[in-house]
Amino acid sequence: MVKICCLGAGYVGGPTMAVIALKCPSIEVVVVDISQPRIAAWNSDTLPIYEPGLDEVVKECRGRNLFFSTDLEKHVSEADIIFVSVNTPTKTRGLGAGKAADLTYWESAARMIADVSKSDKIVVEKSTVPVKTAEAIEKILMHNSKGINFQILSNPEFLAEGTAIKDLFNPDRVLIGGRETPAGQKAIQALSDVYAHWVPQDRIIATNLWSAELSKLAANAFLAQRISSVNAMSALCEATGADVAEVAHAVGKDTRIGPKFLNASVGFGGSCFQKDILNLVYICECNGLPEVANYWKQVIKINDYQKNRFVNRVVSSMFNTVSGKKIAILGFAFKKDTGDTRETPAIDVCKGLLGDKARISIYDPQVTEDQIQRDLSLNKFEWDHPVHLQPMSPTTVKQASVVWDAYSATKDAHGICILTEWDEFRNLDFQKIFDNMQKPAFVFDGRNIVDAEKLRQIGFIVYSIGKPLDSWLKDMPAVA
């Protein structure tokens, strides 16, 4: 029986291994992690991450050919194929701080694999890593190999949170990069054979190592670029009276462009986009390509500008101050159908409002109070923050409360900011909400999910990103 071990039980490792176990009943799959609470959660009825469809997949396979364990050394030693899905955060100090990926966890994983291995292994990069990481890992394994052969493969994940299980069941492509040697090609075939249990052969693409590593960064950079492009257009639409949804629809009808990732919003978030683009910027700079680096930097700058612009719009609309005013925040996760808050635009918007001394009341159906308070109190490093969005000290978080109901969040509020496109926010009783708010009552729709005209008929003053401005807002332009 082929044995697979995955180091890292997070958003990538857990769902990916669960689907491999489901689709390959003849393969034993073990997910290992040093975090005892995380592994305990994977073995419980309440999984540590929320992802539609994940519960059913895990519960069908767990205990049969899918296992979760903290015994890293045992399972790494026994495995034929080892997926490494550990965190690769952006460095916060030292060489490349603010851009380069921190490979501390990756290096320690490689050293542990070398220490405990007693048989040949295929080691698969599953985390998003900078180009040439495989070469560094290869060196560590080779110099500590004790005669054991290791083959390094790059198999980047292209999952979208919220649709990860669907994406795993029916991927656009599975990319496997390896060495162009007989042993490297044999390793590529071994991993291809795993995916071939359910993925059509023409969607399994073999490349060299560096192409696979760079393809992941490039894909995320291109997607983020589309979002920043439509968000840049949204500012122009507001200034001219155009409707960004109509512009995006017209642009998306061009088959060369297509309609996906053209929804204007308060900005992109998630664990990958910003991190991967900064990583790409750093690689370009290291390779003497400053013009290319500056091109990709601009994608991040527009994203920061969009969040800043949203906060400015809220403050300027409400008589240029939100000091002491209650603002309801509907949605804290970076997108619907996930509890993930990494790099969520909500953090920067909330910090911007707290910076103007607002009182904020936050509701998200999948994010815990502990997570929200931690996100708001962390002085996380983020490149080139606009001044309005500088990290606040933890004491300001006293001005943020977390509630478990949209109606509690909005009661007695002066304004509402919709920051995640949860379906339930489309169907709220806005008449009831309006009746219980301070007047004038404002809605700032950062996801363009509500019917602005219906809300205006109720009595709300509505701001929708990239849409023709409410006459009230025209009289109170957003300050720079």
Distance CA 358, CA 242 (A): 31
Annotated binding residue 11:
yes
Rounded to the nearest angstrom, the gap between the alpha carbon of residue 135 and the centroid of all alpha carbons in its chain is 26
Q: Would you say 88 is a known binding-site residue?
A: yes
Residue 197: Cβ within 10 Å count: 13
286 is in an annotated binding site: no
Instruction: State yes or no: 273 annotated in a binding site.
Output: yes
Other CB atoms closer than 10 Å to residue 382's CB: what's the count? 19
- List Cβ neighbours of 398 (8 Å cut-off, separation of 6 or more): none
Q: Consult the annotation and say whether 90 binds a ligand.
A: yes
Structure token pair of residue 49: 């991450």
Q: Is 306 annotated as a binding residue?
A: no
Q: Is position 104 annotated in a ligand binding site?
A: no
The answer to whether 339 is annotated as binding is no
Indicate the angle between helix axes 54-61 and 13-23, nearest 10 degrees. Answer: 60
Q: Is 117 annotated as a binding residue?
A: no
Task: Give CA angle at 212 (86, 21), nearest 5°.
Answer: 55
Q: Alpha-carbon distance 403 to 359, whole Å?
A: 13
Asked if residue 67 belongs to a known ligand binding site, the reply is: no
Report the distance separating Cα 381 and Cα 474, nearest Å: 35
Does 338 belong to an annotated binding site? no
Q: Is 161 annotated as a binding residue?
A: yes
How far is C-alpha 119 from the geometric centre of its chain's CA atoms? 36
Residue 419 CA to residue 359 CA, distance in Å, equals 16
Alpha helices in 205-262 (DSSP H): 209-240, 244-252
Is residue 255 annotated as involved in ligand binding?
no
Residue 24 C-beta-side C-alpha neighbours within 13 Å: 24
Q: Is 229 annotated as a binding residue?
A: no
87 is in an annotated binding site: yes
Residue with token string 């190592």: 209
Q: Is 128 annotated as a binding residue?
A: yes
Per the CB < 8 A criterion, the answer to whether 224 and 303 are in contact is: yes
Which of the residues are catalytic? 272
Give 3-state DSSP helix, strand, coil % of the chain, rounded to 5.
45, 15, 40
- 216: number of Cβ within 10 Å: 24
119 is in an annotated binding site: no
**386 annotated as ligand-binding:** no
CA–CA separation, 237 and 253 (whole Å):
19
Query: Per-residue b/e over 97-107, b at no fewer than 16 CB within 10 Å?
Result: eebbbbbebbe
Using the 8-state DSSP alphabet, how is residue 61 labeled?
A: H
Give phi and psi for 443, each to the nearest 5.
-125, 125
275 is an annotated ligand-binding site residue: yes
User: Binding site for NAD(+), residues?
Assistant: 8-13, 33, 38, 86-90, 127-128, 161, 272-275, 342
Instruction: Give the residue ranges of the annotated binding site.
Output: 8-13, 33, 38, 86-90, 127-128, 161, 272-275, 342
